[in-house]
Amino acid sequence: MVEQAVRRVPKNADPRIAEVACALGLSARSLQRHLAQQGTSFSKLIERTRRQHALELLVQDDLNISEIAQALGYTDPSNFCRAFHKWTGQSPNRCRSRMLQHTLPERPER
């Protein structure tokens, strides 16, 4: 149930539980119960979805932090940066640098 709900959460909006529940054919309360049985909540689900999407967008070097924040539904990039730091313990720029270092092929020694 949690994974189905995750797939229904828009990545670039602030969805309401009723919208996601309706897309799953459930009432909001039923969705809350299903999530609680699996040890999570709707707000945690949204946070998880945003965190994952943020990491996906950070690997795309063509988007700046403001554009990523906007794509995730944040009205202010500083709010996104604070949330990202809470999730990962580092700034989005630092995380991007580390991820790009790990994805770039190593240069041969001369």
Do the beta carbons of residue 80 and residue 68 sit within 8 Å? Answer: yes
pLDDT of residue 109: 52
Distance between CA atoms of 107 and 104, rounded to whole angstroms? 9
DSSP 8-class letter at 64? -
pTM confidence score: 0.74
What confidence score (pLDDT) does residue 3 get?
67
Contact 80, 69 (CB under 8 A): yes
Question: What token pair was written down for 47?
Answer: 């946070």
Which regions of the chain are under pLDDT 50?
107, 110
Number of H helices, E strands in the chain: 7, 0
What pLDDT sits at residue 110? 47
For residue 1, the model assigns a pLDDT of: 61
Query: What is the amino acid identity at position 23?
Result: A
2-103: what fold? Arc Repressor Mutant, subunit A (1.10.10)
Q: What is the pLDDT of residue 9?
A: 64
- Tell me which amino acid residue 28 is: A
Quote the distance between the C-alpha of residue 94 and its chain's center: 17
The ranges assigned to domains in the chain are 2-103
